Amino acid sequence: MQCERAWLREIRSAWRQGMFMNARARVLVADDHAVMLDSLVRLLSAQFDVVAAVSDGVAVVNKARQLTPDLLVLDIAMPRLNGIAAAARLKELGSTAKIVFVTNLHDREFLEGSLELGDVGFVVKDRLVADLLPAVRTVLSGRSFVSPSMAE
């Protein structure tokens, strides 16, 4: 039993350090705007396995519990349950998925609220093409990422 736990810790550590380059992270994407959801899926699909794309926070919680993705890419402003609340709910339920928030809201309050959840990404949508993939890689490696326009 002790040996199994040590082996599992080594595997997790190797994963965080990027040693399994052929393994693709499993990603759940959520945005309530169909065009943005499609754009997020297309940007991520080349390098990651997008396992679900949903349009509200309640669906995020349900699909994440069912599929146990490695990463959640969540719009903050969604119906039924916003992205931050959905992520907090999943954390309460024991989810270990990493989180990248995407938003049009250039509001420090949302940034601070998201960072309370740990090492997360915070990407403003007007920098989506430049920041999304670096944010995902940074968060998957166990660090936080904030779009430069919000970091100042």
> Does residue 42 surpass a pLDDT of 80?
yes
Please state the φ and ψ torsions of residue 49, each to the nearest 5 degrees. Answer: -90, 105
> Does residue 39 surpass a pLDDT of 70?
yes
Q: What pLDDT, on the 0 to 100 scale, is given for residue 110?
A: 55
118 pLDDT tier (thresholds 50, 70, 90): low
Q: What pLDDT, on the 0 to 100 scale, is given for residue 145?
A: 87
Enter the tokens of residue 13.
Answer: 């550590």
pTM of the model: 0.79
The Cα 115–Cα 49 span in angstroms is 25
**Which has the minimum average pLDDT: 3-12, 15-24, 37-46?**
15-24
pLDDT tens per residue, range 92-111: 999 899 999 898 865 656 55
Q: CA geometry: angle at 66 spanning 65 and 67, to 5°?
A: 100
Sign of CA dihedral 117, 109, 136, 70: positive
Q: What pLDDT, on the 0 to 100 scale, is given for residue 99?
A: 92
Q: What pLDDT, on the 0 to 100 scale, is given for residue 148?
A: 81
Q: Give residue limits of the domains in the chain.
A: 24-147
Q: What pLDDT, on the 0 to 100 scale, is given for residue 77?
A: 86
Q: What is the CATH number of domain 24-147?
A: 3.40.50.2300
